[in-house]
Structure 1
Amino acid sequence: MTPTTTTRAEALDVLCALVGRDDAQFHDGQFEAIDALVDGRRRALVVQRTGWGKSAVYFVATMLLRRRGAGPTVLVSPLLALMRDQIAAAARAGVRAVKIDSTNAHEWGEVIAQLDRDEVDVLLVSPERLNNPAFRDGQLPQIVARMGLLVVDEAHCISDWGHDFRPDYRRLRELIARMPAGVPVLATTATANSRVVADVAEQLDAGSGEGDAGVLTIRGPLGRASLRLGVLRLPGAAQRLAWLISHLGDLPGSGIIYTLTVAAANDTARLLRERGYDVRAYTGQTDPDEREQAEAALTQNRVKALVATSALGMGFDKPDLGFVIHLGAPSSPVSYYQQVGRAGRATESADVLLLPGAEDRDIWHYFATASMPDRERAERVLGALADAGAPLSTPALEAIVDIRRTPLELLLKVLDVDGAVARVTGGWVSTGQPWAYDEDRYRRIAAERVAEQQHMLDYEETGQCRMEFLQRSLDDESASPCGRCDNCAGAWFPAQIAAEAADEAAAALDRVGVPIESRRQWPTGADRLGVPVRGRIAADEQASEGRALARLTDLGWGGMLRETFATGAGDGPLPPALLSASVRVLADWRWDERPLAVVAMPSRSRPQLVGSLARGIAEIGRLPFLGSLDLVDGGPSGQPGGNSAFRVSNVWGRFSAAGLDVPHGPVLLVDDRVESGWTLTVAARELRLAGASSVLPFVLALRG
């Protein structure tokens, strides 16, 4: 019996234990990957469709390597949902798997002790953990020295050409280059075209020697015979919601309804619940415990659907998921394939329907370049760290460079991977290494994103097989007509909408009024910028809770607001429909005491819009219009955006209520839109100091 034959028999025994079936057999390519890792000690990239069994490859390989005396497998996984599912799957096969991530810090000591006692077969870590100073400098070197196998799951995240690029993943190239000779590496993904495959393979080859066999790529067909794809074009958001109300109950089993924005997920879930459907919202803003509960409810078929953003994607594993519906299209066929791949993994049929919207392109543009570093911002960060001479925490750096926390953290990760900065105990430091903005690279990536968006539009319009279109988008040479989609076999979904459903959806979208939470604390670092405040905002200087007509990302009024605030839209009187809707918001506002007067924010970009809104409200409400706050020393300076400390510094002392006859009672403060809320906070403080007992902010648009 040859070594490979022996390995195959042994591997098959482990597979049977893993899946709980004595008749289990390997899929095409599975054993080839296992053999390459176990007997060949090679680096392998596996590109296979969702549900093919990539996790079986690394669990089986782990057990065989452990039996041969190898150390534990390190599995880098991007999502907590994936880690939970992977640990549960491993336990069924007797694989001892543990994790280290932000949710189980209380368990880290025991996990390290288990590793020291060689009681761990698989250690799961998030890519972000690889650059945590304590873990990177304290535990990781010992783990790497003993590691028997490195697994990079969802490996398309390594590549900035991938649809879900994450800067932390690019550190894996450095980790691979430091590993001892002969330690195999496995990278897996279901969503990679040829460009991404080549990029990932190049990074997997880091640190390999001349005699190494190079990266083995095992790529299988990506067609999903169980999926029945379709596209249904409807006139607007109301009709799409009405279709869901009419037909959600007819869809098989339980599933996922994807939306493009958090607001759309929350609004859609609320509407469907009101219609009697058992659904839950699931977004990046959902509490982690609530996310876990929602995933369990869907897995156990206790809900009809989760209404989710892309936060529910990689790693969620429900083999019998019956359907995936999209209210609005993702920005590329690759992203779309990844999301619909959640369905039909262990069933003969699952329904996949796209309901595209006219607003999709606006939303794509809204989120377009979030991962792209800006040259001027990067140079500001590098200069601040170089001048500091000591580590700076992210909040401290934020107060210096005028970049909001989320984009600052992303920029620091990119600069860290590029070697220009380093994360150390106490914060961030400059490495002193030269850094140049790779304008050509980022221009090419941006152009690729635009091309992907056009490909998604082409998918919506194509008359050819939809599965074949998606496969070709992933450079799958085996692409061929599926015979099941709406283009191959005719529309399988009803197009009609119940009249009462259309009325209810229209009414839901016509809802107005979004609370604006008032600020209670001054931002950290504002006092370093010359603003004489810190800590809690005095109670007699605070604004009250305000109201916005709608969010810019809302399905209903968001469309008209996006047009109103679009680049190049210009200034002008408020459209009557927006004034009427604003009055409805005020009529529903349950304030403790009715305002005694209306004050407008001074606006240099839209004075006609803000002025006509404030005067219109005052006239309809029969309230005195006091005019606008005065601008002091030319008004706010600098560009919009930035972090909280700089936003406060930008507007501090720039408004005056001295010229207004402010009553000793509630005042309605009117503006066009709000992003951070600091402009309204500072303006409300001036009105409170001038005698107003409370200030009620009202704006047209709230950032999504």
Structure 2
Amino acid sequence: MNTTTDPQPDRRQRDFAAQHMHTVLARLAGPDAKPRADQLYAVHAVLQPASRVLVVQATGWGKSAVYWAATHAMRSTGSGPTLVVSPLLALMRDQVAAAERAGLKAATVNSTNIDDWDDVFQRLDDDAVDVLLVSPERLGNPRFAARLVQLLSRVGLIVIDEAHCISDWGFDFRPDYQRLARALLSTPTASVLATTATANERVTHDIGQQLGAGTVTFRGTLARTSLTLSVVPGLSPLARYAWMADALKQLPGSGIVYVLTVAEADRLTAFLRSCGHAVDAYTGQIDADTRLQVEDRLRHNQVKAVVATSALGMGYDKPDLGFCVHVGSPSTPVAYYQQVGRAGRAVVHAEGVLLPSDADERIWDYFATASIPDPQTADKVLACLAAAGRGLLEIEAQTGVRRGRLEALLKILAVEGVVIKDGSAWKATGQTYVHDTAKWAALARVRQQEANIMRQYANGQGCLMAYLQTALDDSSPTPCGRCSVCTGHLPYPGLTPSQDKMIAARDFLRGMDVPIEPRKRWPAGVSRKGNILGFEAGRAVAFADDPAWVNELQALLVSGALVSPGGDVSEPCLPEALLAGALATLGRWSKVWGHRPVCVVPLPAPRMFANQQMALHISQKGRLPLHKVLSWTGHAAPDDAASTPVVAHLESVIRLLPGASLPDGPVLLVATEVRTRWAATVAAALLRENGASQVLLLALHLQP
């Protein structure tokens, strides 16, 4: 135990805390379960009037038992209900079930049960709820916000679970969470308990400062004796797929396979299923009911593994999880520890395996910059909101800030109090935004340092468990004697997956078509209005860092940079395998067409040579006429900008050549690369406006 103060409860107080801790623990884990000394100290600390307590302990230590026991004790003396702030729906569902097993009456208010809110509020008024769980986004809901002041006047305990989310320095900082935490911490009467398993010294200090003076901190060792950590280095992206297909035959029990992107989750799930493995995908893009079904299937061992993004992480409760494999490395040791710590909580042995790749760092860079506000962009957004409230689409159109970055920025500005959300509109409050340059620069440096630590971890520079302990500022890191560095042993299949799985992975992934969804509506502020009449459907050979096409995509990038716009269109420069893949994609796709295309048209671009070469290849092999009817006059479209300025520019530079004519029927529009889809949309609109009955889009590479 590491505490900022040394609590010494008298006998009566200690017995009172122990009585309720024993009662709750017996209900949760059986009559023979014994509380840890630190758990008893923490419960006693929480029971002090208006206390502020922070518990930083490893996953599986029993942090939730502390707040259930404290709630049980406080309710027995007539205190109000406990309010638990929880960042994930999956976590809330598990917590409701755990609270009820502990003998507490629990309810939740979240985005999936809006119809139940009135009943929950009535039960709160009747004092028939011991525990209310809410998500951080509820503060933005007027119905919940209107009840908050009354609720805070009655609660006896506020629990901020996964408290690293309220820290700017935390690996998973969430502005909504910090904003709600600040509102809750304003209560002068309720006790506050913050818990996390993933906080280094900097994050622990920051949380303590937010909780306030007099915070009592309980921090224990983060070592996990049941977890055997391994790093399998040097695998290509394709080899990682083959490795997983082999490894699932021998990994113990059921587990989680973490990936960095939604696309990777979908691809890997599909491949592992093709190899006969029972696996499900879990990402932020699946609906709430499906998430619940997948969680339950894993919990009851109905699947061997769930292939998941970070959407399945904090608080998911399956104590007997046998393994956690990362196909791709998280950017911080804290994030990695949080995820790999899902495994081995109630089993003697579990495997935690990392399969790193050089491609991981491009994803790290994106997320690292997305979480840090740009002061010029903030000023632009605030100027847009100065006159009146505006919705996201309108702000995006007027400022040129892309949707994802705009949403992240608005949440940060809301935490600073300079904007508020009123219904679907954002409004400026009139408060001046002061950009804390020093803080954000320091955060960027910390992110770089954390990335360096993960590189060193992946290179096996010391005991893996001790390395994670050191990265999280554990005071007693020691070699574990179990990891792949300590023993020199790698889990099956080691460094070399089977050749048959390598071939199977390549063939399967190269046989997957990548849909390109058409744009639906023109953005505000451009010449065309309303619904889009453009390309009706699209297919790509590869998406993002597609593991089946890594070498070919690199060659495509190089060829696009080296070819001359005035070069010979017959000169080979595009990777032959990708061109063959385009023909194969075309062949599969043609089975669902109503009519065969009547011609091929290259998509115009600032450097059209590659698109023209692809169009020529498709024309020759597919025996379709080639019609070069579109031109590009001017510079490239603005990069990393919102839809309105991009489309306005494209409308000015893409033209139908004078005298151009098209045969009657569907047109196949082809491009080597597609990213925003706006160039293809504008080009397809021109083709439709000039007689094409249908436009189909074929690309070699769809970029995220």
The question of a shared fold, defined as TM-score above 0.5 by the shorter chain, is answered with yes
Q: Deviations over 1:603-653 (max 9, x none)?
A: 12x333223222332233333322251346x4775x234444554444346
Is 1:455 aligned with 2:463?
no
Aligned to 1:211: none
Alignment partner of 2:438: what SS? helix
Aligned to 1:601: 603
Report the CA distance shift for 1:374/1:562 in structure 2 as closer, same or farther (over 3 A).
farther
Moved more, 445-454 or 298-307: 445-454
Report the CA distance shift for 1:97/1:485 in structure 2 as closer, same or farther (over 3 A).
same
Shift of 1:425: 4.1
Letter in 2 for 1:44: V
**CA distance in 1: counterparts of 2:169 and 2:68, whole angstroms:** 28
Letter in 2 for 1:555: P
Aligned to 1:522: 521
Checking the alignment, whether the CA contact within 8 Å between 2:579 and 2:700 is kept in structure 1 is no
Shift of 1:563: 6.5
**CA distance in 2: counterparts of 1:567 and 1:226, whole angstroms:** 50
Alignment of 1:89-104 (within 5 A): 89-104=98-113
Checking the alignment, whether the CA contact within 8 Å between 1:173 and 1:204 is kept in structure 2 is no
Alignment of 1:632-643 (within 5 A): 634=634, 639-643=638-642
Q: Deviations over 1:395-426 (max 9, x none)?
A: 34333333333322221110010111112345
TM-score, with structure 2 as normaliser: 0.92
Alignment of 1:234-253 (within 5 A): 234-253=234-253
Structure 2 unaligned regions, length at least 5: 1-9, 565-572
Alignment partner of 2:66: what SS? helix
Checking the alignment, whether the CA contact within 8 Å between 1:641 and 1:647 is kept in structure 2 is no
**CA distance in 2: counterparts of 1:668 and 1:439, whole angstroms:** 50
Alignment of 1:270-349 (within 5 A): 270-349=270-349
Shift of 1:319: 0.1
Shift of 1:371: 1.5
Checking the alignment, whether the CA contact within 8 Å between 2:14 and 2:44 is kept in structure 1 is no
**CA distance in 2: counterparts of 1:233 and 1:498, whole angstroms:** 16
Is 1:464 aligned with 2:482?
no
* Selected match of 2:205 from 198, 204, 215: 198
Report the CA distance shift for 1:394/1:47 in structure 2 as closer, same or farther (over 3 A).
same
Shift of 1:39: 2.9
Aligned to 2:155: 147
Letter in 2 for 1:267: R
Q: Deviations over 1:180-234 (max 9, x none)?
A: 2x421111000111111111111111xx5xxxxx111100000000001111124
Shift of 1:492: 4.8
Report the CA distance shift for 1:571/1:87 in structure 2 as closer, same or farther (over 3 A).
farther
**CA distance in 2: counterparts of 1:425 and 1:510, whole angstroms:** 45
**CA distance in 1: counterparts of 2:556 and 2:168, whole angstroms:** 34
Report the CA distance shift for 1:309/1:142 in structure 2 as closer, same or farther (over 3 A).
same
Letter in 2 for 1:69: G
Shift of 1:588: 2.7
Checking the alignment, whether the CA contact within 8 Å between 1:298 and 1:305 is kept in structure 2 is yes
Structure 1 unaligned regions, length at least 5: 209-213
Checking the alignment, whether the CA contact within 8 Å between 2:254 and 2:303 is kept in structure 1 is yes
Aligned to 2:74: 65
* Selected match of 1:189 from 190, 196, 212: 196
Checking the alignment, whether the CA contact within 8 Å between 2:160 and 2:181 is kept in structure 1 is no
Report the CA distance shift for 1:621/1:85 in structure 2 as closer, same or farther (over 3 A).
same
Aligned to 1:29: 38
Aligned to 1:549: 541
Shift of 1:483: 1.5
Alignment partner of 2:664: what SS? coil
Checking the alignment, whether the CA contact within 8 Å between 1:359 and 1:559 is kept in structure 2 is no
Letter in 2 for 1:462: G
Q: Deviations over 1:347-391 (max 9, x none)?
A: 111011111123222232243322122223211210111022xx3
**CA distance in 2: counterparts of 1:463 and 1:226, whole angstroms:** 21
Checking the alignment, whether the CA contact within 8 Å between 1:551 and 1:558 is kept in structure 2 is no
Report the CA distance shift for 1:451/1:566 in structure 2 as closer, same or farther (over 3 A).
farther
Alignment partner of 1:163: what SS? coil
Shift of 1:40: 5.2
**CA distance in 1: counterparts of 2:412 and 2:469, whole angstroms:** 31
Report the CA distance shift for 1:46/1:255 in structure 2 as closer, same or farther (over 3 A).
same
Aligned to 1:579: 579
Q: Deviations over 1:518-541 (max 9, x none)?
A: 23x314x62xx153422x34xxx3
Shift of 1:77: 0.4
Letter in 1 for 2:610: L
Alignment partner of 1:548: what SS? strand
Shift of 1:124: 0.7
Letter in 1 for 2:539: R
Alignment of 1:603-622 (within 5 A): 603-604=605-606, 606-622=607-623
Moved more, 364-373 or 566-575: 566-575
- The alignment of Structure 1 onto Structure 2 pairs a total of residues equal to 682
**CA distance in 1: counterparts of 2:349 and 2:138, whole angstroms:** 38
Checking the alignment, whether the CA contact within 8 Å between 1:256 and 1:325 is kept in structure 2 is yes
Shift of 1:561: 2.8
Alignment of 1:25-424 (within 5 A): 25-39=34-48, 41-136=50-145, 138-180=146-188, 182-205=189-212, 214-388=214-388, 391-424=389-422
Shift of 1:305: 0.4
